[in-house]
Structure 1
Amino acid sequence: MDWNWFAAEEYWQARFAVQHLLALCYLLAFGCALHQFRGLLGERGLTPIPRFLEIAGFRRAPSLFHLHYSDRFFAVVSGAGAGLSALVLFGAADVVPLWAAMVMWLVLWVLYLSIVNVGQVWYSFGWESLLLEAGFLAIFLGPSHVAPPAPVIWLLCWLLFRVEFGAGLIKLRGDSCWRDLTALYYHHETQPVPGPLSRWFHRLPRPVHRVEVTANHVTQLLVPFLLFAPQPVATAAGLIVVVTQGWLMLSGNFAWLNFITITLAFSAMGGWLLHPVTLTPPPQQAAPPWFRAAVLALTAGFVVLSYWPVRNMLGRRQVMNRSFNRLHLGNTYGAFGSVTRTRYEVVLEGFDGARWREYDFKAKPGDPYRRPPQVAPYHLRLDWLMWFLPLSPSYGRSWLPGLIAALLRGDEQVLRLLRRNPFPDSPPQRVRALLYRYRFTTRAERRATGAFWQRSPVGDFVPELSLADLR
């Protein structure tokens, strides 16, 4: 059998870019887990992993933590993942035999899968599944001295297609503001975690917003088909995705969603474009028979797994960000099928016997005079979940009572998730949650007051509570 079609040597630079950017994304993800897990998921966290493991068996949530859990072991897993990610980022997987490189990528995938599957509501975002699916495909990309396998390159493009086309379809089928091109009249102001330039984007002229939405539809509904076209068309399609995702990174904080989408876009690019910014390829070895067989089995498996996301995209009741199996392979993706028109924020306050003091979050809007920070591609999980509360209090059922209790106890691990503790000496006597309406200030208001937000009270979200009330 002629195996010349199997090797895609012209995509060596594309593989180099994908692998190293993906290793960087793994490093961010493990670092995020390491720094936030104690307050969110630890033994004394808001939704403790030990409690979850008592009701979730291995089949429901495959994870190493079914073998053993302690906060120290979680830290070891996260730290090992971060260390191995750094090694891969700096080329360790390129200087070892093929089987060893595959093992390194497999270990990264198993470690992060173990975290995601016990992460509960804090790990329910689409970019978690996207990282796992891309990371699984990376196992079969091979090291630098083996010619890139063409089927895996195609599967990476197919993953990018599902990300972009699924997101385009859910917008077109969802909120009418995407169809009448008015979505960005609201989105920059009401998105989960605005960034430092979000106010500037929001204040762009409305005709520009309509052009933005039109460009988004073209990028997500038409351009994905060009990823499978001959070169240089596929490269042009990849570049369009990169530019669009870069624009989104400037306009808001969406964790590593944009970053990993850019990573996947490089899989469509030919070496003629990437050669000036990547290393010179070493002599390419032909893939051994066992590796070719493994890649073909992988491809056949993903053909089968693709049935569910394709059915979802073509169905009338399309859902966003759904994993159809516990391994997070063959997922469906999408974002912002609906756009909120008005921004509401839940503001937590504590009472020390003299006055009420507000708790500041690291990125969530709070103090009207504070410029929204740039945190992406890092993911502040508590800040994101706080955005969902005004949409429906049910989003906080599993963790909001625990958060209030932790503030009343002065729990150090939970307080580390916040930007500032207004009660450094002793915990407050009572805590309450107020609901405010937020909007970006106009240019005139900004010049007059120095504020980035204008907020007005709506009412109580959670009444005053003490530890005795919670008990």
Structure 2
Amino acid sequence: MAAMEWFTPWFSAPGYGLSRLVLQRALAGVYLIAFLSAAFQFRALLGERGLLPAAAFVRRVPFRATPSLFHWRCSDRFTGGCAWVGAALAAAVVGGAADAVPLWAAMMMWALLWFLYLSFVNVGQIFYGFGWESLLLEAGFLAIFLGNAHTAPPVPALWLMRWLLFRVEFGAGLIKWRGDRCWRDLTCLYYHHETQPMPGPLSWYFHHLPKPLHRAETAANHFAQLVVPFGLFFPQPVATVAAGIVVITQLWLVLSGNFAWLNWLTIVFALAALDLSPVAGTRSYDPTPLWFAVVVCAASVLILVLSYWPARNLLSRTQQMNRSFNSLHLVNTYGAFGSISRVRQEIVLEGTDAERVGPETVWREYEFKGKPGDVRRLPRQFAPYHLRLDWQMWFAALSPAYTRGWFEPLVARLLENDRAALRLLRTNPFPDRPPTHVRAVLYSYRFTTWAERKANGAWWHRTWVREFLPPVHVVSGSDHDAGRP
């Protein structure tokens, strides 16, 4: 008992009780959204008849390389059930279930959330190849060791959350500074709001801000990502001020675009540095169980050891973005937009019910939920929900190399009016019977000017570039067999 009395003051941080509560509930909310994304999209993207079937992937790749429940069973029913179980468990944690059970049971709930989502990420291939997938897993693993309402927040786990936030912000800042010259001459935001993967409803207005304000935005971003993160490790109130700056800059990014749950997760991590005790007070907790302290310290040592590779990457001139150094995604490296596109190109999928294709053929467009299509449609807000196919279409427009493996199956699904695939889209111009031919064309998109917007009501102006995929049609009953006329 005397040993624990000596141990508790430096191990426990009772003043961070409210910060932990909000952090855990918000993190569980992100888990909920992630599992709902899997429930609604996994089957069409990675199911038995998906664009990149996970069942075929697990036959090629061993369990040790991609640990996942789906190495055991990978049917649509099982993966769908896992997604809904994860969503239900996440919703329960949001509602306070993890605080209503013993500490060991709460840790098991967080561990189950982590492993369920790891199972999806490790078989998700390019559709789960985004940095925020690993970010959620790394944060979810740390959450196992944050405790619950029965014990004071452990200092090591809170510091590891700050270390994660530091790597997210500082890594993103370094990749920009080392990358595209426009970040150093403060001109990247002349283009970024227009060419980002999935603009939001306010992106048009952000794009039309005065150029001096764009330069100020860029400079503020460098300050927030290259200077402020060091403040997270200073004593209070400096750490709280640094966390507050991170929150404000992330909310600015939330308003200006759709980046799934990346910005929201970053805000969640900032809570680990917020001292809310002057507002909420400090409650008393039961003594910290010795077994819990041992487990937290052991996990902390593991994370610190694994941090060697991300830390080395931060210092490297050949810094990599969004890389996991182990198959469990425990400690990773992050970053985004090391280079900025100056021109926006979009792939538009079109179909026709004409028996023969010629110059007079009437083509009808498929509309996606999030990515630009109809020039008069205001971009929608979807984040923190992740539209995985829409994001891949943005990459595909950058280079045909990004279409490898999934684009032709998508076209084949459209040729047969596959219900699962069509649910990924906003509109189907052929509700009664499948099209006879489908093609893809490439357009250059730009935001309209104030005058153009007033004159024709359009948010976008687009110009034909070229045919991306010539017309194809079904040539047999095979699942993916489509041919060009």
TM-score interval, smaller chain = over 0.9
User: Does 1:156 find its partner at 2:168?
Assistant: no
Q: How far off is 1:470 after superposition?
A: 2.4
Distance in 2 (alpha carbons) for counterparts of 1:426 and 1:281:
65
Decide which of 443, 447, 463 is 1:456's aligned counterpart: 463
Q: How far off is 1:302 after superposition?
A: 0.9
Equivalent residues in 2 for 1:46-445 (5 A)?
46-272=51-277, 275=280, 283-353=284-354, 355-445=362-452
Distance in 1 (alpha carbons) for counterparts of 2:287 and 2:311:
33
The DSSP-based 3-state class of the residue aligned with 1:390 is helix
The DSSP-based 3-state class of the residue aligned with 1:297 is helix
Q: How far off is 1:56 after superposition?
A: 1.1
Contact 1:39–1:46 (Cα < 8 Å) also in 2:
yes
Instruction: List gaps (5 residues or longer) in structure 1.
Output: none
Q: How far off is 1:272 after superposition?
A: 3.3
User: Does 1:15 find its partner at 2:20?
Assistant: yes
Q: What does residue 10 of structure 2 align with?
A: 5
Contact 2:14–2:284 (Cα < 8 Å) also in 1:
no
Cα deviation digits, residues 252-287 of structure 1 (max 9, x gap): 000000000000011100023662xxxx77640121
Amino-acid identity (%): 61
Contact 2:202–2:256 (Cα < 8 Å) also in 1:
yes
Contact 2:370–2:380 (Cα < 8 Å) also in 1:
yes
Distance in 2 (alpha carbons) for counterparts of 1:413 and 1:317:
41
Contact 1:22–1:260 (Cα < 8 Å) also in 2:
yes
Q: How far off is 1:75 after superposition?
A: 1.1
The DSSP-based 3-state class of the residue aligned with 1:255 is coil
Distance in 2 (alpha carbons) for counterparts of 1:274 and 1:206:
40
The DSSP-based 3-state class of the residue aligned with 1:5 is helix
Distance in 1 (alpha carbons) for counterparts of 2:170 and 2:227:
8
Q: How far off is 1:14 after superposition?
A: 1.3
Number of residue pairs matched?
Answer: 467
Specify the code of the residue in structure 1 equivalent to 2:321: M
**The 10-residue stretch of structure 1 (457-466 or 283-292) with the greater mean CA deviation from structure 2:** 283-292
Q: CA RMSD in A?
A: 1.1
Q: How far off is 1:22 after superposition?
A: 0.2
Contact 1:13–1:274 (Cα < 8 Å) also in 2:
no
Decide which of 12, 32, 45 is 1:27's aligned counterpart: 32
Instruction: List gaps (5 residues or longer) in structure 2.
Output: 355-360, 476-480
Distance in 2 (alpha carbons) for counterparts of 1:106 and 1:390:
38
Contact 1:14–1:274 (Cα < 8 Å) also in 2:
no
Specify the code of the residue in structure 1 equivalent to 2:380: P
Contact 1:350–1:356 (Cα < 8 Å) also in 2:
yes
For normalisation by structure 1, the TM-score amounts to 0.98
Q: How far off is 1:303 after superposition?
A: 1.0
Q: How far off is 1:398 after superposition?
A: 1.4
Distance in 2 (alpha carbons) for counterparts of 1:37 and 1:302:
30
**The 10-residue stretch of structure 1 (286-295 or 80-89) with the greater mean CA deviation from structure 2:** 286-295
